[in-house]
């Protein structure tokens, strides 16, 4: 009995600790020179691929009220994240995939997201959403 | 069996002019049966509290064989008492809701976390010895005389070298009192324990006890 | 030791039960607040899941979403009919369907729409879609059968609705359950809604059983009617964008002088912010109640321990270890608190269930009541706080001198 009672708080505390080693990454760091071929990733992004990173930005108004993903933008989005250029992939957004689906309260507030950086084109089989840069297994909090 | 040696014992309480108890020198031989008498407030209970380690020894020395109670802390006295002293009180201090057997075993259960298997058999033997036939009976359903018998069995479970009884018959009728008094003397003799009974019951005055001590205003007389 | 504790608790069972009950109620309050808020969030989020983008006339975004997604009837301003035509021809749109309200049947909304919505909501469980203007498809929870015929009623504005006596719809299909308010809706072709109200407007206010152009509805559904630039004005259009990027672009393009595009999710997210604030206030109240209850119980236990100091002293006089006395008192308190906590979790869950079921009946939005892993944290903290507080009476018992206790 004693052991059981003792284990309860520990169980709750045993949630994965925030990745202490996450490298801060800014929107300005994402892409290198714009070449004739379009956007190319910066060396920093290439080096950090697969590593935990933290990014600060704004949560775009979510497309689904309960979802495991949202769009992180550099500037607050009453302005559309996909409208700054006609390109399908603007250079000032990152898609965030959370470790599980949840509802949101933080749209258009500054948040800090920590997750593993994934680089390269990938199509979400669930939504058909094509993204070039992603933070996966992510958690976020108000910055 | 332990011998008691008291030297220069003084017990004072704040606010009282004279000591509640002052025993310059007292020796009891091992296995002696002692009757302690004295008027109410003469210091009987204080004396018993001191020799059982319930109260700390502030001044003087109280030695049972090689153990000086004055040198032990509170936890040390608790452990020593659990191992060496059996107590029988006027109020039985049995715990309702538990059977007679569980009451006998309770101090042992609370002194260590695992009960030795043999102890349960010993408890049943002791209950039979004091005349309790239904060990599983809830203790609050017993008569007062039976309750004190259970308390006697409890006092003897740890095979103590010292058996202390504080007015053991005061809340019993004459017949039960006589039975309990007899049991105490018999069992102390069987185990060879040193027995100290504090009582003003004339029953004990008639009993065959080795030695009488009389307290008057905190001092031993005779 | 546990045997002694249980016997002791049994002996004081009424006091123990009362304390456990108070703990349970205080816990239940906090649990119910958490669960209910979550149920409302998840319920509304899932009910809106099929609707990515809603376009309406400029006005309140919240009102637009409540009316179109959650079918909470409210008068909405109309936008021109050509908006729908534009959306239907937009390559970024997978499908778009109009929503027109007004009529109802036995308190259930009759919604005028078009065929793509039937698929968009999950498709049919039985029967077929509407092919003629006087055919209807019913939601999963509508108590009608295939082949039933019914007369729509117009609004409730005058207490007693006006029956469109001359109009008769026949049920030809039933939707699969969607877990949304649409389960209680009756879907008919939007042109039918248009025609009924045109005719009414032309004929002036008609009494019950007044002349109605029933024969006008006995015609096949014509999809091209929706493309006409002269089509009647609409309160809302549900839009399914092809891609996520398209969704954001459509939202931008249709926020203007004549239209308002909004993600139901963004309205809900704003709502959840408010709901979250309310939850924080309620949670603070619950925590305050728990602290008060904790203090009252601590007092009760302290008094109880003081009353029993003779017994506790006797335990030690007869050879119980000091630590055992401490453990007994501590364990008893923790056991009672723990039991109260567990019962409270159950009570809170049951309370949230009852409330959610009631809300679900009223709104048609199922409210899932369930625990999440993170709920363990506050409960564990509560238990921890109880365990720490239980140390106080335990120390009091621990410090009790056996000699004094016996003398007392």
Distance from CA of A29 to the nearest CA of C (A): 23
Is C171 a residue whose pLDDT tops 70?
yes
Distance from CA of C37 to the nearest CA of A (A): 12
Q: Which of B14, B21, B45, B54 to mutate to test the interface with C (most CBs of C within 10 A)?
A: B54
| B-chain residue closest to C6, CA distance | B97
User: In this structure, what token pair is assigned to residue B60?
Assistant: 């003087």
Is C408 a residue whose pLDDT tops 70?
no
- Per the structure, the count of domains in chain A is 1
Cα A35 to Cα A32, A38, A94, A130: the distances in Å are 9, 5, 20, 21
pLDDT at C156: 46
The answer to whether A103 contacts C41, with C-beta atoms less than 8 Å apart, is: yes
pLDDT at C210: 42
Q: On the CB side of C102, how many CA atoms lie within 13 Å of its CA?
A: 24
- Banded pLDDT at C102 (limits 50, 70, 90): low
Distance from CA of C297 to the nearest CA of A (A): 20
Between CA C262 and CA B32 the distance in angstroms is: 99
Cα C221 to Cα A40, C23, C135, C190, C216: the distances in Å are 52, 63, 9, 9, 12
- Banded pLDDT at C135 (limits 50, 70, 90): very high
Give per-residue pLDDT as tens, C337-377: 999 999 999 999 999 999 999 988 888 888 889 898 888 88
From C236, C262, C288, give the residue that closes a domain.
C262
| Interface pTM, i.e. ipTM | 0.84
The answer to whether A88 contacts C266, with C-beta atoms less than 8 Å apart, is: no
Distance from CA of C394 to the nearest CA of B (A): 15
Closest among B75, B151, B76, B123 to C318, alpha carbons compared: B151
Residues C29 and C289 sit within 8 Å (Cβ to Cβ) = yes
Between CA C392 and CA C164 the distance in angstroms is: 74
**β-pairing verdict for B194-198 and A66-73:** unpaired
- Quick check: is A5 in a domain? no
Is C236 a residue whose pLDDT tops 90?
yes
Residues of A whose CB is below 8 A from C376: 8, 11-12
In the structure, how many helices (H) and strands (E) does chain A have?
Answer: 2, 6
Percent of chain B at pLDDT > 90 equals: 59
Residues C38 and C95 in one domain: no
Of A15, A80, A129, the CB nearest to C243: A129
Burial label for C204, CB within 10 Å (0-12, 13-18, 19+), is: exposed
Is C158 a residue whose pLDDT tops 50?
no
Closest among C237, C206, C192 to C86, alpha carbons compared: C237
Distance from CA of C216 to the nearest CA of A (A): 40
Of C270, C331, C376, the CB nearest to A11: C376
Which chains border B (3 or more CB–CB pairs < 8 Å)? C
**pLDDT, average across residues B180-197:** 92
**β-pairing verdict for B194-198 and B21-28:** unpaired
The answer to whether A66 contacts C252, with C-beta atoms less than 8 Å apart, is: no
Residue whose tokens read 């600060």: A56
| A-chain residue closest to C381, CA distance | A9
Angle in degrees, 0-180, between the axes of helices B144-156 and B117-129, rounded to the nearest 10: 140
**pLDDT, average across residues C100-118:** 87
The answer to whether C244 contacts A2, with C-beta atoms less than 8 Å apart, is: no
- Per the structure, the count of domains in chain C is 2
- Banded pLDDT at A36 (limits 50, 70, 90): low
* DSSP tag of C100: B
Between CA C28 and CA C58 the distance in angstroms is: 43
- Banded pLDDT at A16 (limits 50, 70, 90): very low
* DSSP tag of C219: S
Is C206 a residue whose pLDDT tops 60?
no
Give me the total of CB pairs closer than 8 Å, taking one residue from chain B and one from chain C. Answer: 81
CATH number for the domain spanning A135: value is 2.40.50.870
Is C161 a residue whose pLDDT tops 60?
no
Is C205 a residue whose pLDDT tops 70?
no
pLDDT at C315: 85
Closest among B146, B151, B10 to B92, alpha carbons compared: B151
Between CA C334 and CA C321 the distance in angstroms is: 20
**pLDDT, average across residues C80-107:** 87
Is B195 a residue whose pLDDT tops 50?
yes
Residues of B whose CB is below 8 A from C311: 93, 95
Q: Which domain holds residue C239?
A: 53-262
pLDDT at B1: 58
- Quick check: is A10 in a domain? no
DSSP structure string for C145-188: -TT-EE--EE-STTSSPEE-TT--EEEEEEEPP-SSGGGG-EEE
Q: Does B56 touch chain C (CB under 8 A)?
A: no
The answer to whether C270 contacts A107, with C-beta atoms less than 8 Å apart, is: yes
Residues C114 and C8 in one domain: no
Is A14 a residue whose pLDDT tops 60?
no
Between CA B184 and CA B154 the distance in angstroms is: 12
- Banded pLDDT at A11 (limits 50, 70, 90): very low
Cα C165 to Cα A3, B94, C169, C208, C218: the distances in Å are 73, 86, 11, 6, 15
Give per-residue pLDDT as tens, C17-27: 999 999 999 99
Residues C99 and C189 in one domain: yes
* Residues in Cβ contact with B107 at an 8 Å cutoff, skipping those fewer than 6 apart: B82, B154, B157, B158, C315, C318, C319, C320
DSSP structure string for chain B: ---EEEEEEEE--TT-SS-SEEEEEEEE-TT-EEEEEE-TTSSHHHHHHHHTTSS---EEEEEETTEEGGG--HHHHHHHHHHHEEEE-SS----TTSBHHHHHHHHHHHHSSS--HHHHHHHHHHHHHTT---TTSBGGGS-HHHHHHHHHHHHHTT--SEEEEESTTTTS-HHHHHHHHHHHHHHHHHHT-EEEEE---HHHHHS--SEEEEEETTEEE-
The class level of CATH for B30-56+72-221 reads: alpha beta
Domains in chain B: boundaries: 30-56+72-221
Percent of chain C at pLDDT > 90 equals: 30
Between CA C311 and CA B163 the distance in angstroms is: 21
**Range from A33-42, B131-140, C103-112 carrying the lowest mean pLDDT:** A33-42
- Banded pLDDT at C58 (limits 50, 70, 90): very high
| C-chain residue closest to B41, CA distance | C407
Residues C58 and C175 in one domain: yes
Between CA C93 and CA C132 the distance in angstroms is: 26
* Residues in Cβ contact with C244 at an 8 Å cutoff, skipping those fewer than 6 apart: A63, A71, A82, A127, A128, A129
Is the sign of the CA dihedral B133, B137, B140, B141 positive or negative? negative
Closest among B201, B193, B107, B111 to B150, alpha carbons compared: B107
* Residues in Cβ contact with C36 at an 8 Å cutoff, skipping those fewer than 6 apart: C351, C352, C355, C356, C369
**pLDDT, average across residues A104-129:** 84
| B-chain residue closest to C316, CA distance | B78
pLDDT at A86: 56
Is the sign of the CA dihedral C213, C219, C221, C226 positive or negative? negative
Between CA C365 and CA C363 the distance in angstroms is: 5
**pLDDT, average across residues C160-171:** 70
Is A33 a residue whose pLDDT tops 80?
no
Give per-residue pLDDT as tens, C274-318: 888 888 898 898 889 888 988 888 898 888 888 888 888 888 888
Residues C59 and C119 in one domain: yes
**Range from C70-79, C130-139, C183-192 carrying the lowest mean pLDDT:** C70-79
Residues C241 and C210 in one domain: yes
Identify residues of C whose CB sits under 8 angstroms from chain A CBs. 2, 41-42, 44-46, 48-49, 52, 242-245, 247-249, 251-252, 263-266, 268-270, 272-273, 276, 331, 334-335, 338, 373-374, 376-377, 379-381, 383-384, 387
Is B97 a residue whose pLDDT tops 70?
yes
Closest among C189, C194, C200 to C166, alpha carbons compared: C200
pLDDT at B215: 92
The answer to whether C331 contacts A11, with C-beta atoms less than 8 Å apart, is: no
User: Dihedral, CA atoms, A80, A86, A89, A91, nearest 10 degrees?
Assistant: -70
**pLDDT, average across residues B65-82:** 90
The answer to whether C247 contacts A67, with C-beta atoms less than 8 Å apart, is: no
The region that residue B167 occupies, defined by phi over 0 for left and psi between -120 and 50 for alpha, beta otherwise, is: left
pLDDT at C105: 85
Q: Which of B58, B97, B103, B155 to mutate to test the interface with C (most CBs of C within 10 A)?
A: B97
pLDDT at B139: 92
Give me the total of CB pairs closer than 8 Å, taking one residue from chain A and one from chain C. Answer: 100
The answer to whether B93 contacts C7, with C-beta atoms less than 8 Å apart, is: no
The answer to whether C319 contacts B81, with C-beta atoms less than 8 Å apart, is: yes
Residues C177 and C65 in one domain: yes
Is C239 a residue whose pLDDT tops 90?
yes
Residues of C whose CB is below 8 A from B74: 322
Give per-residue pLDDT as tens, B128-138: 999 999 999 99
Give per-residue pLDDT as tens, A62-103: 888 888 888 888 887 655 666 655 556 677 788 899 988 888
Q: On the CB side of C157, how many CA atoms lie within 13 Å of its CA?
A: 8
**R_g (Cα) of chain B, nearest Å:** 17
**pLDDT, average across residues B175-195:** 92
The answer to whether A65 contacts C269, with C-beta atoms less than 8 Å apart, is: yes
Distance from CA of B87 to the nearest CA of C (A): 7
Residues C91 and C174 in one domain: yes
Residue whose tokens read 């006395």: C325
Residues of A whose CB is below 8 A from C270: 107
Residues C236 and C322 in one domain: no
Of B81, B97, B112, the CB nearest to C7: B97
């Amino acid at each position: 009995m004693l052991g059981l009672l003792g284990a309860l708080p520990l169980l709750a505390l045993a949630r994965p600790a925030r990745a202490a080693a996450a490298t801060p990454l800014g929107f300005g760091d994402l892409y290198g020179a714009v070449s004739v071929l379009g956007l190319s990733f910066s060396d920093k992004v290439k080096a950090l691929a697969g590593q935990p990173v933290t990014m600060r930005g704004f949560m775009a108004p979510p497309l689904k009220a309960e979802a495991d993903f949202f769009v992180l933008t550099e500037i607050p989005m009453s302005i559309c994240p996909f409208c700054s250029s006609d390109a399908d992939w603007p250079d000032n957004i990152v898609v965030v995939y959370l470790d599980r689906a949840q509802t949101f309260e933080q749209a258009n507030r500054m948040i800090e997201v920590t997750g593993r950086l994934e680089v390269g084109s990938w199509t979400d089989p669930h939504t058909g959403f094509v993204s070039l840069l992603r933070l996966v297994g992510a958690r976020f909090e108000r910055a | 069996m332990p011998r008691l040696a008291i030297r220069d014992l003084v017990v004072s309480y704040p606010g009282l002019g004279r000591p509640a108890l002052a025993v310059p020198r007292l020796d009891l031989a091992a296995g002696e049966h002692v009757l302690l008498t004295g008027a109410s407030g003469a210091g009987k209970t204080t004396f018993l509290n001191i020799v059982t380690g319930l109260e700390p020894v502030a001044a003087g020395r109280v030695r049972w064989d090689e153990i000086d109670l004055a040198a032990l802390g509170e936890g040390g006295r608790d452990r020593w008492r659990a191992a060496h002293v059996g107590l029988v009180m006027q109020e039985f201090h049995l715990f309702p809701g538990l059977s007679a057997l569980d009451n006998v075993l309770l101090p042992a259960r609370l002194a260590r976390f695992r009960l030795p298997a043999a102890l349960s058999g010993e408890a049943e033997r002791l209950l039979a010895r004091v005349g309790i036939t239904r060990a599983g009976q809830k203790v609050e359903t017993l008569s007062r005389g039976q309750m004190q018998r259970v308390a006697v069995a409890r006092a003897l479970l740890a095979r103590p070298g010292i058996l202390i009884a504080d007015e053991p018959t005061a809340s019993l009728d004459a017949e039960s009192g006589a039975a309990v008094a007899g049991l105490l003397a018999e069992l102390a003799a069987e185990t060879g324990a040193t027995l100290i009974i504090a009582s003003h019951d004339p029953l004990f005055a008639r009993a065959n006890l080795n030695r009488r001590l009389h307290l008057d205003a905190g001092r031993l007389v005779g | 030791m546990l045997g002694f504790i249980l016997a002791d608790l049994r002996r004081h069972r009424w006091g123990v039960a009362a304390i456990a009950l108070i703990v349970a109620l205080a816990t239940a309050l906090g649990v119910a607040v958490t669960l209910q808020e979550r149920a409302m969030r998840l319920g509304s989020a899932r009910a809106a899941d099929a609707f990515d983008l809603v376009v309406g006339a400029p006005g309140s975004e919240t009102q637009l979403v409540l009316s179109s997604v959650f079918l909470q009837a409210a008068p909405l301003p109309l936008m021109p009919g050509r908006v729908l035509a534009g959306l239907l021809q937009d390559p970024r749109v997978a499908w778009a369907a109009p929503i027109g309200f007004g009529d109802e049947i036995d308190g259930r909304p009759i919604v005028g729409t078009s065929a793509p919505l039937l698929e968009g909501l999950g498709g049919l469980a039985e029967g077929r879609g509407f092919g003629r203007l006087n055919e209807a498809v019913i939601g999963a929870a509508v108590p009608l059968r295939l082949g039933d015929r019914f007369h729509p009623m117009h609004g409730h504005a005058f207490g007693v609705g006006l029956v469109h006596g001359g109009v008769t719809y026949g049920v030809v299909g039933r939707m699969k359950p969607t877990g949304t308010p649409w389960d209680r809706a009756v879907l008919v072709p939007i042109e039918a809604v248009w025609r009924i109200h045109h005719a009414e407007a032309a004929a002036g206010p008609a009494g019950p059983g007044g002349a109605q152009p029933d024969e006008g509805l006995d015609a096949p559904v014509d999809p091209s009617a929706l493309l006409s630039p002269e089509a009647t004005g609409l309160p809302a259009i549900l839009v399914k964008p092809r891609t996520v990027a398209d969704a954001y672009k459509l939202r931008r393009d249709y926020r203007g002088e004549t239209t308002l595009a909004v993600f139901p999710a963004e309205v809900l997210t704003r709502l959840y912010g408010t709901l979250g604030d309310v939850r924080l206030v309620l949670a603070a109240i619950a925590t305050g109640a728990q602290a008060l209850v904790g203090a009252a119980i601590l007092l009760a236990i302290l008094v109880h321990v003081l009353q029993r100091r003779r017994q506790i002293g006797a335990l030690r006089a007869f050879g119980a270890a000091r630590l055992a006395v401490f453990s007994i008192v501590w364990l008893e308190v923790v056991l009672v608190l723990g039991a109260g906590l567990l019962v409270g979790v159950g009570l809170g869950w049951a309370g949230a269930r009852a409330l959610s079921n009631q809300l679900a009946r009223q709104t048609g939005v199922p409210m899932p009541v369930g625990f999440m892993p993170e709920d363990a944290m506050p409960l564990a903290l509560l238990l921890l706080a109880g365990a720490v507080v239980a140390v106080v009476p335990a120390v009091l018992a621990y410090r009790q001198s056996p000699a004094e206790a016996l003398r007392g």
